[in-house]
Structure 1
């Protein structure tokens, strides 16, 4: 079991490498036009290309999981990420960097696809819920801390150093996984398909409810920096405090989820977390409609949303994997794609009205949380026999 938790730590670190691709590089983006030529719009494509490549990679790894050993794909993804990161650091122009970033995003998405299946293979359900809670807690810190680290690296060595550190981290994790015996092979029970999962109402119950809760939270988070600064007359400190409180709350709730599942049952915890997040989102929207602009109140109302996600996140994600009946890679890829899609669609819909205040942002987030709750009400649960199989 101790070795299992060490392996889990390396797996978590590997998934964070993929997150580093956006957040660690973010501080360097404004200075890229001066360094490589081009304009600020092209510099934003350095981020967009990575996200687009990641989406393609999620689908690609989901299919490859049927044909190539998961352990090989996992470690190969890390070494490929290291090579592409070095290539990015050596890019001679903005156009070359954008192209390389798309390929980097494609290869770097492997660990995120395979991590839940590996956890499933390593632990019993109760320990797996705990492990996924740890995974989510650590991953939730990455978006908050990586930009700070990226800014420090930019000061120390310029934009090249951001990519060089990503390369070194990916390579080191690959070497450590090989030295520790590698990741366990995920047991597959026959080939599946994305179409089959999309037709499976039980899988959609957990995948969509998971993605919509997290997607709704992300829509709110993505919109609030502009709202705090441009509409409410505050500062980025207001947003940082809100985000920090949300992350801490999520971490506490996610690590409490295992105990809650043991005491109350998986479905009860998923439902309670979903309804709690919905209640928090509704309170945020009602406060926005009254014209409220207090950063303290907005932060306080953000707490139940993160608590709900923390409670339902680990068991909900793990149930989505179980509902795939062995098609772990595709299931994980679809959940992440649903999250990215929900966040992207919600952010795009809100953007024309972002300067009207927090009501449009909170309203869009509330809509996502409401649909997530409907998924639990209308779609069938995983049968206990299937969960144990």
Structure 2
């Protein structure tokens, strides 16, 4: 790999880490935030929902913008606004102001996420594309490992606002990293008008195979975002763990996501993509049934945590393989296709996240039901629209 390719690879890894950085670093602060503003757990989780909603909608604009104007300028604008809104969130004095900045933060932060996937599609195809996506997932896996641990440590020295100060610094570094990177979509390959880019969406909606992957990933991330939103109250309120200990549990799950993210690249020439996708979904679904039982009977942590890890970590395989399979059939629509996939990975989960706290902070049953239901529908989507197509 050339030096220039290594630099671009690091750049793409940083951009795909925007979403977990904006969410996972903030998770240990949710209970403190709820107490600070005097709001319910569901309303505190709504601050996550607004970020996810912004990310979902922002990708729908960021992808077509990159198909029309190239990758570099839109991603630079996105990271710049992400930086400014991170600082705005740190200075929020009311829940409504915080919700506003979190939404805008997610909206423009999503430009990095969606355009990074489009750039990967610009420079790689076939098994090389799968290998690159797998490598990006490996880097992306570091964010869930480091972000909650960092968030927990930040809370040892400051309050929830300190988390957003750190996100402001990270956003600034990401914006500056956009400047030296080369453009990967030549002018001759760009769509002539923004309206032409937006017209890609009806075509994609009529592609049943592509939409099957969108639905699959949507249901997959309903489960994952439910885990993100509900786990803080599960471990800190029901099991009485500190924010620092909880952040370490998130770190363990993150290590699992990191390690499983290595598998698609390692197995790319040995195992069919369809087989990897199928078995990863089945494993998560079966494990989620045991997890639901553990929530109901309040199993001890030495049993519950391994089951949680086994339930969540196949996501690295499922997302990587599904994303590669879906985008491999797209050409000039790569930006719009990446945006629509990104929308489905974020929007359903962001809308259902508050449901994890609907029964209060003393039970995890809504979380268990949400995760199990998400994996069941993910498996159904695979069998109906993806398998054998």
TM category (shorter chain) comes to: 0.7 to 0.9
SS at match of 1:353: coil
1:167 and 1:364, CA in 2 relative to 1: closer, same or farther beyond 3 A? closer
What's the counterpart of residue 254 of structure 1? 261
Measured after TM superposition, the shift of residue 178 of structure 1 is: 2.7
| Distance of 1:312 and 1:370 partners within structure 2 | 14
> For the Cα contact (< 8 Å) 2:144–2:254, is it kept in 1?
no
Tell me: CA distance 1:271–1:326, structure 2 relative to 1, closer, same or farther (3 Å): farther
Which whole-Å CA distance do the structure 2 matches of 1:31 and 1:354 have between them?
16
Please name the residue that 2:272 is paired with.
Answer: 265
1:7/1:92 CA distance change after superposition, 3 Å: same
1:219 and 1:347 in contact (8 A); partners too: yes
> Which residue of 232, 244, 249 corresponds with 1:225?
232
Shift in alpha-carbon separation, 1:232–1:369, aligned structure 2, 3 A: same
The alignment status of 1:182 with 2:182, answered yes or no, reads yes
Q: CA deviation at 1:236?
A: 5.6
Larger radius of gyration: 1
RMSD: 3.7
Aligned to 1:243: 250
Aligned match of 1:109: 110
Residue 136 (str. 1) matches residue 137 (str. 2): yes
TM-score w.r.t. the length of structure 2 is 0.80
Any conservation in 2 of the 1:85–1:104 contact (CA below 8 Å)?
A: yes
Other-structure match for 1:296: 302
Q: CA deviation at 1:266?
A: 1.1
- Of 210, 220, 227, the residue aligned with 1:213 is 220
Q: Does 1:328 align with 2:329?
A: no
| Structure 1 length-normalised TM | 0.80
Does the residue aligned with 1:262 lie in a helix, a strand or coil? coil
Report the equivalent of 1:343: 349
- Residue of structure 2 equivalent to 1:197: 204
Work out whether 1:124 is the aligned partner of 2:121: no
**Residue 164 of structure 1, CA deviation:** 5.3
Q: Give the match's secondary structure for 1:65.
A: helix
Instruction: Note the C-alpha offset of 1:382.
Output: 8.0
Q: Could you tell me how far 1:251 is from its partner in structure 2?
A: 1.4
* Greater relative contact order (CA < 8 Å, ≥ 6 in sequence): 2
- Maintained 8 Å contact 2:146/2:251: no
Change (3 A) 1:193 1:101: same
Cα 1:350–1:64 change in 2 (3 A) is: same
8 Å Cα contact 1:15/1:115 also seen in 2: yes
Given that residues 75 and 174 in structure 1 are in contact (C-alpha distance below 8 angstroms), is that contact kept between their aligned partners in structure 2?
yes
Change (3 A) 1:263 1:75: same
Deviations 1:135-156 (A, max 9, x none): 2233333245335435656777
Q: Aligned partners of 2:144 and 2:213: how far apart in 1?
A: 24
Query: What SS class does the counterpart of residue 379 from structure 1 fall into?
Result: helix
Return the alpha-carbon distance in structure 2 between the equivalents of residues 239 and 249 of structure 1.
16
Q: Distance in 2 between matches of 1:5 and 1:310?
A: 22
Deviations 1:173-218 (A, max 9, x none): 3434432x42422756774433332332101222221232232133
Moved more, 114-123 or 51-60: 51-60
Contact 1:203 1:324 in 2 (8 A): no
Aligned length: 378
Does 225-234 or 317-326 show the bigger shift? 225-234
2:6 is the counterpart of 1:5: yes
Alpha carbons of 1:172 and 1:261: their partners in 2 closer, same or farther (altered >3 Å)? same
| Separation (CA, whole Å) in 2 of partners of 1:244 and 1:259 | 23
The whole-number CA distance in structure 1 between the counterparts of 2:20 and 2:160 is: 17
Give, in whole Å, the separation in 2 of the partners of 1:80 and 1:146.
21
Q: What's the CA shift string for 1:117-147, capped at 9, x where partnerless?
A: 1112222332322222232233333245335
Unmatched segments (≥5 aa) in structure 1: 384-389
More displaced stretch, 169-178 vs 58-67: 169-178
